[in-house]
């Protein structure tokens, strides 16, 4: 009896979702491959897998997540840019690609011209954390301390031009402070050194550091998004905490190689949105501090242009500072 009720409920729910557009030719006719430029276990990888599982049920073909790391996600992007234009290989683009459009001088593709946006998928903020030994409990206290001790506070980042590096540089520019950047190859190494007080702060993925915050091993000062994170709703945003206008989030969305038939793009957009409309997908993403943010193709295209401009300004500001005589 319970199974029958569950089945009727599920059927009613699926029927209420928007119908997928019909295709002149059957699509997909093979597994869909989503190429991700981040390692397994990263927020984008987790998001891709959650969405991919539901998407496979909707389109009736396996959805394979392929992690292709290297060159700051440029290797993954280049792979999809060269892929057949049939919709069976798509790319999970992100903030990193908007940054690389300005920061990388040797790209073999143009992120705006060589990709056809399908839909924005989601975003997730970072959290500004410090070691308790610093004795700081707020963003304003951090700013005061950094101004009294220029260059003495060390923050970790993923290296020049990465999202965590530019999040720090944006903070330094808007807050008017001098903080020393220490480069790492990934968040785990930076967090490890932060726990050991080898560095004093880091703009970290939320779920990476919140367990340490709850144990009192780190102090969370603020989140980097435009609004507060659901994982720590009492934590102010950096803008609220004393640096107006600050916003730095990791967004990600799906794109196909430019030249993919428009009816295939339309089908993929509808299928992805149908997958993301399901409660299980939304709950799984929110559990990992990932907020659902779908869009139309045109909205995503405009958003990418805005992000390239915004992060490009940050990249140029960093380069200008580095070119100054010491």
- CA–CA separation, 6 and 53 (whole Å): 20
For 88, 109, 201, 233, 275, the CA distances from 84, given in Å and listed in that order, are: 8, 15, 44, 44, 24
Domain boundaries, the chain: 2-124+250-314, 125-248
Are the C-beta atoms of residues 220 and 213 closer than 8 Å to each other?
yes
Tell me the per-residue pLDDT of 72-120, one tens digit each, with 9 for 90 and over: 899 999 999 999 999 999 999 999 999 999 888 889 999 999 999 999 9
**What phi, psi does 75 have (nearest 5°)?**
-65, -45
121: three-class secondary structure by DSSP: strand
Token couple for 320: 């200008």
Tell me the per-residue pLDDT of 147-204, one tens digit each, with 9 for 90 and over: 999 999 999 987 777 788 889 988 998 999 999 999 887 788 899 999 999 999 999 8
Which class would CATH give 2-124+250-314?
Answer: alpha beta
Same fold, 2-124+250-314 and 125-248: yes
Cα–Cα nearest to 73, from 113, 44, 51: 44
User: How many other CB atoms sit within 10 Å of the CB of residue 75?
Assistant: 14
pLDDT for the residue 116: 98
Per CATH, the homologous superfamily of domain 125-248 is Periplasmic binding protein-like II (3.40.190.10)
For 121, 135, 175, the CA distances from 253, given in Å and listed in that order, are: 5, 39, 30
Listed range (12-16, 55-59, 317-321) with the worst mean pLDDT: 12-16
The average pLDDT across 203-222 equals 92
- CA–CA separation, 147 and 199 (whole Å): 17
Cα–Cα nearest to 130, from 145, 115, 117, 113: 145
């Amino acid at each position: 009896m319970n199974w029958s009720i569950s089945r009727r409920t599920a059927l009613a729910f699926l029927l209420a979702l928007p119908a997928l557009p019909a295709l002149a030719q059957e699509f997909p006719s093979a597994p869909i491959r989503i190429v991700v430029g981040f390692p397994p276990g990263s927020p984008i990888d987790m998001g891709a897998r959650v969405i991919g599982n539901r998407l496979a049920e909707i389109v009736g073909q396996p959805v394979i997540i392929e992690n292709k790391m290297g060159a700051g996600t440029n290797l993954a992007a280049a792979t999809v840019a060269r892929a057949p234009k049939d919709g069976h290989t798509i790319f999970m683009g992100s903030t990193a690609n908007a940054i690389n459009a300005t920061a990388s001088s040797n790209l073999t593709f143009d992120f705006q011209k060589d990709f056809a946006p399908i839909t924005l998928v989601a975003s997730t903020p970072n959290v500004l954390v410090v070691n308790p030994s610093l004795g700081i409990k707020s963003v304003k206290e951090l700013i005061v301390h950094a101004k009294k001790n220029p260059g003495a506070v060390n923050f970790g980042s993923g290296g020049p031009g990465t999202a965590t590096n530019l999040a720090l540089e944006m903070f330094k520019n808007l807050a008017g402070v001098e903080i020393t950047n220490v480069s790492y190859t990934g968040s785990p190494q930076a967090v490890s050194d932060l726990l050991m007080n080898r560095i004093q702060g880091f703009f970290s993925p939320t779920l990476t550091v919140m367990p340490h915050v709850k144990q009192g091993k780190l102090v969370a000062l603020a989140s980097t998004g435009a609004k507060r994170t659901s994982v720590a709703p009492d934590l102010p945003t950096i803008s609220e905490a004393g640096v107006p206008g600050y916003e730095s989030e990791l967004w990600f969305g799906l794109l196909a190689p430019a030249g993919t038939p428009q009816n295939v793009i339309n089908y993929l957009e509808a299928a992805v949105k149908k997958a993301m409309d399901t409660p299980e997908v939304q709950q799984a993403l929110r559990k990992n501090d990932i907020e659902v943010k779908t869009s139309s193709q045109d909205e995503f295209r405009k958003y990418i242009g805005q992000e390239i401009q915004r992060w490009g300004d940050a990249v140029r500001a960093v380069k200008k500072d580095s070119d100054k005589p010491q």
